[in-house]
Amino acid sequence: MIDFAAARRMMVDGQVRTADVTDPRILSAMLDVPRERFFPEDKASLAYLDLDVAVSEAGEPVRRLLKPMVLAKLIHAADVAETDRVLDVGCATGYSTALLGRLAHSVVGLEEDAALARQASGMLGGAGVTNAKVMSGPLVKGWPAEGPYDLILLEGATETVPMALVEQLAVGGRLACVLGRGQPGKAMIYRRTEGDLSGRAVFDAAAPLLPGFAKPQEFVF
């Protein structure tokens, strides 16, 4: 039988700390949240590997949880404050939402796969996360009803800057994502200012493409 507590410590020490994630709040959250519970039972043994592991049981595209290192570095680069209102886009089974709930004031997890959304909502309740909730809807549309947000985090890659989500940021708010499909992708932090948007690359990364975030096809005549 797998000692998940030991596997969790090894994940934090071997994958997260070594990737220059130094915020003790993130390290503590990743030690506290039992990641294996957010996986299908037959895949729980994969929870602490350095992989983007599939969690959807049917349908296309297959949905995956981001590998721990990429998720931790993205959250670290986003500089989450205790007062932040956060939108977690593509939350899947809710692991990232549970982590963010330990760092921010409030979190909305958005998931368009209805089965995953139900699972995520149940997992948050079971984990005692009281400042986060899960809503179901198209990822590309965000969730403007709860905005504006101080931080929007994409749990996967996008091939374009998602302007519909940028519009849901408060002035000074950040959008954290992996830009580009496959290698070489870039983890990006975009910041909204009055009438403008600035972006900076923070590290090289690869992540599964989120549904609806592919670059529109160009017609050739």
pLDDT digits (tens, 9 = 90+) for 135-152: 999 999 999 999 999 999
Instruction: Tell me which residue of 140, 144, 174, 132 sits closest to 160, measured CA to CA.
Output: 140
Does residue 188 fall inside a structural domain? yes
Spatial separation of the C-alpha atoms in residues 179 and 63, rounded to whole Å: 17
Does residue 221 fall inside a structural domain? no
Does residue 211 fall inside a structural domain? no
Does residue 213 fall inside a structural domain? no
pLDDT band for position 220 (50/70/90)? low
Does residue 132 fall inside a structural domain? yes
Does residue 181 fall inside a structural domain? yes
Does residue 127 fall inside a structural domain? yes
Tens digit of each residue's pLDDT (9 = 90 or more) over 171-212: 999 999 999 976 779 999 999 998 899 999 999 999 999 999
Does residue 98 fall inside a structural domain? yes
User: The domain that contains 139 carries what CATH number?
Assistant: 3.40.50.150
The parent domain of residue 187 ranges over 4-205
Tens digit of each residue's pLDDT (9 = 90 or more) over 22-77: 999 999 999 999 999 999 999 999 999 999 999 987 666 789 999 999 999 999 99
Domain count of the fold of the chain: 1
- Asked whether 125 and 147 are in contact (CB, 8 A), the reply is no
